[in-house]
Chain A
Amino acid sequence: MSAEDVLFDMLHSEIVSYLVSKSAEDEDISILEHLGYSCGWRLIERITKELPRYKEELEILKFICTDFWSCVYKKQVDNLRTNHQGVYVLHDNEFRFFSKLSNGTQYLKSAPKYATFTCGLIRGALENFGISSIVTVEIIRMPSCKFHIQVLPSSS
């Protein structure tokens, strides 16, 4: 792992613990999510500047799972599932922010706060593709992690 990866990991976990210690329990999540949202929004602009235009929703989701994920987490999403009605599940078997944390259910209670930024990241990225969504996370056993994406019907 290179130096800048470590820096990102550490900065991320410091931001998490700072926000958690600073604000009340239900507030911290929204700030973190918003940070992720705006990062994702900007990041997607940068990554896609050389790419041809995607049209299909599924193609965009695939792009998130491959290129976008490997840009941020140095690996691809292991599994993408959909019900073809706007619900997608991204399954990462070794989520980067959990890989140093636990290999089971220890620290499970604090696990969601380490995934919140990523939820925002996905939501922001999709938003910039013109897809409004709600992203939630499900953690049963670390280091694996599932992101549920519910695409909202577009208003336009």
Chain B
Amino acid sequence: MTIYNIYIFDRMGTLLFHTNWNRLKQSGMSSEEEAKLMYGMLFSIKSFVSKISPLDPKRGFLCYKTNKYALHYYESLTGVKFILNTDISVKNVRDLLHQLYKEIYVEYVVKNTECTMGQPIESELFKLKLDLFIKQNMKSLQ
């Protein structure tokens, strides 16, 4: 049971936040470049999923899995995107991401006027709470 890293993007594709916990393999590029690549891929997957879906896709793209890790995707109605990479045994990540959006992002970013919207998040309190949240919820994911 491992959580590797998290990315938060806003509606325009700006990387708001990124952190690593147990990442063993580095991508070998700068984190901005990596973020662009990540956002581009997600954008493509989203449009791919909605075009190719035989039925109304409703919630759209949710996650993908390789044999080593799983990428979980959650998008709020306002277009804030949360991407969490975990190992493949993890379950219920959607609820977790929704909770993270509600309890951490909204509380410590949206309600903090010192955080400018559309700018990378610099609040130490947010970072602290996020870290705590992930560590506390490790168990519920198994």
Query: A interface vs B, CB < 8 Å?
Result: 6, 9-10, 13-14, 16-17, 100-104, 106-107, 110
Can you add 12 more A-B contacts, CB < 8 Å, to A14-B113, A102-B124, A103-B128? Answer: A9-B111, A10-B111, A17-B113, A100-B111, A100-B125, A101-B114, A101-B123, A102-B123, A103-B125, A104-B125, A106-B124, A110-B114
Give 9 A-B contacts (CB < 8 Å), ordered by A residue.
A6-B111, A9-B111, A100-B111, A100-B125, A101-B114, A102-B125, A103-B124, A104-B124, A107-B114
Contact of A106 among B111, B113, B125 (CB under 8 A): B125
Greatest chain A CB density within 10 A among B108, B111, B128 is at B111
Greatest chain A CB density within 10 A among B107, B108, B113, B124 is at B113
Min CB distance A149 to B, Å, is 27
- Nearest residue in B to A14 (C-beta to C-beta)? B113
- Nearest residue in A to B109 (C-beta to C-beta)? A100
Contact A100 B108 (CB under 8 A): yes
Contact A16 B113 (CB under 8 A): yes
What B residues does A14 contact at CB under 8 A?
113
Query: B interface vs A, CB < 8 Å?
Result: 107-108, 111-114, 123-125, 128
- Nearest residue in A to B108 (C-beta to C-beta)? A100
Min CB distance A16 to B, Å, is 7
What A residues does B128 contact at CB under 8 A?
103
What A residues does B124 contact at CB under 8 A?
102-104, 106
What A residues does B107 contact at CB under 8 A?
100
